[in-house]
Structure 1
Amino acid sequence: MEPDNQNIKEVAKAAAEVSKFGTQTVQTTEKILGFIAKVFKSPAEDTAGIIGDRLKLFRWERQLAYVDKVNNILFAKGITDTRAVPPKFSLPVIENASLEDDDELQKLWANMLANAMNPTFTVNMRTAFIDIIKSLTILDVKILKTFYEALKQNSSVDWNNILNYSLKKEQICQLLSIGQEDYEVSVFNLFRVQCLAPAIITGGISMGAEPLTVYKGSKAVTLTPLGVDFIKSAIEE
């Protein structure tokens, strides 16, 4: 169900008058409520009941910037008929976006919610993506984006066997002009959130029926299937 604009105005006015959502103006409350009602595809009064006092925790200036980012992404893609995003997923996304100080990282939250609202987006939106974004630095994001874009330039890449493709430490350090220490810290964090994995190289020597393999650690890394889906959901423009 599409949110009704007049109903949103009435609920926002009532909310502001009783200070349910803090000391914000009616216009600000209306904009936030209208946006969240659009995400939920629910009437404004239902939306207000679902989010309740959680809006008191929002940093309103950042939240308004986030609303604009998501709406701009949807507009740029020509998406007017959005799909509902369950509160279990959308509320943590909206809350965390309002707490994010870095504009580049907030863009990830915006991309993810806009894709979740896009009825033609086919990647399964996992709640794990929320924890992944919370764990990333700008350098972590750049490493993922650089690796993904390098693969996209190769039309012969088999995305169903993404673990077959690796980049070496020296290649990534050169592409991003970073030192090995910064690389190591970011890569091990990306291992932790399972967006990257150590490359495993199969050698020519066999032991019995199985070829010997070499575990490369951080010296050579691969994107994981989870990492690819996360990049498509939150990083890819």
Structure 2
Amino acid sequence: MKAKGSITKQEAELEISKEEVDSFFKGIIPQFVRDAGGILSDNVRFWRWKNQVKIIKQAEVIVKESGLQKKEVPLKVLVPLIENSSLEEEETMQLKWANLLANAATGKVNVTPNYVAILNELSPLEAQLLDILYDNVIKESDYQKRKTMQFGKDKVCEVLGLSSESFDLIIENLFRLGLCRPPGSTGIMFGDSRVALQTTSVFELTTLGFDFVTACR
């Protein structure tokens, strides 16, 4: 039984973390929300709280390193971002949530509500594939060429060690989210002609996909 007036290690960690979180949110959450107890304290389990704190601390470092000033973030972006990020335990994905939060807080990249929803629906492997595509297309400065740059299923399966079925499940989800598309969206080149083709064997990163990955970096 805990002695009256004593404080547990977890309670001490929460108190310290609360001060750090309050400091980060100063200026980006309306005062009335902070005065009402904030958006993080409503029946949040301790493990979710720890995830939130870790991501917020990472975001704070990113903001400081950017040298940019924080601004108020719309609640329809901020609330689901904080809530959904608290469920993420994979470190690579936590970093993406932290980058998304930092970019929203500084306005460096336009972060829309659908980006929060998209990140919440991605697996680490799907996010890894998007990063690979992004690292290739960003080398192309011409927008028209960039958005029609095509990638092959076999090469991706080789790089990520995926079976054909596993790849199809991943790419079809990215199609569903609008982050990638089959070349049938714009056509595939046969000689001088562009022919519509519905397939998972060849695909492209969409403009939405490119901008989304940018927002998570």
* Shared fold (TM-score, shorter chain, > 0.5): yes
Offset at residue 186 of structure 1 (A): 0.7
Would the alpha carbon gap of residues 203 and 82 (structure 1) be closer, same or farther in structure 2, given more than 3 Å must change?
Answer: same
How far apart, CA to CA, are the structure 1 residues paired with 2:84 and 2:49? 12
How far apart, CA to CA, are the structure 1 residues paired with 2:212 and 2:60? 21
How far apart, CA to CA, are the structure 1 residues paired with 2:211 and 2:126? 16
Give the gaps of 5 or more residues in structure 2.
1-10
Q: Which residue of 2 aligns with 1:92?
A: 80
Contact 2:70 2:105 survives alignment (8 Å): yes
How far apart, CA to CA, are the structure 1 residues paired with 2:149 and 2:17? 48
| Secondary structure at the counterpart of residue 55 of structure 1 | coil
Q: Structure 1 length as normaliser, TM-score?
A: 0.75
Offset at residue 113 of structure 1 (A): 1.0
Residue from 57, 61, 85 that aligns with 1:68: 57
Are residue 48 (structure 1) and residue 32 (structure 2) matched?
no
Q: Structure 2 length as normaliser, TM-score?
A: 0.81
Deviations, residues 136-157 of structure 1 (Å, cap 9, x unaligned): 111101111101111223x4x4
Between 1:134-143 and 1:161-170, the stretch displaced more is 161-170
Would the alpha carbon gap of residues 161 and 50 (structure 1) be closer, same or farther in structure 2, given more than 3 Å must change?
Answer: farther
How far apart, CA to CA, are the structure 2 residues paired with 1:179 and 1:53? 40
Give the gaps of 5 or more residues in structure 1.
1-22, 206-210
Q: Which residue of 1 aligns with 2:94?
A: 106
Say what the alpha-carbon RMSD is for the aligned residues.
2.4
How far apart, CA to CA, are the structure 2 residues paired with 1:191 and 1:38? 37
Contact 1:125 1:233 survives alignment (8 Å): yes
Are residue 82 (structure 1) and residue 70 (structure 2) matched?
yes
| Secondary structure at the counterpart of residue 217 of structure 1 | coil
How far apart, CA to CA, are the structure 2 residues paired with 1:52 and 1:202? 51
Q: Which residue of 2 aligns with 1:184?
A: 168
Q: Structure 2 matches for 1:1-237, cutoff 5 A?
A: 25-40=14-29, 42-43=30-31, 46-49=33-36, 51=38, 55-57=42-44, 59-79=48-68, 81-119=69-107, 121=108, 123-153=109-139, 155=140, 157-160=141-144, 162-199=146-183, 200-204=187-191, 213-234=195-216, 236=217
Count of aligned positions? 201
Offset at residue 50 of structure 1 (A): 7.3
Between 1:26-35 and 1:138-147, the stretch displaced more is 26-35
| Secondary structure at the counterpart of residue 167 of structure 1 | strand
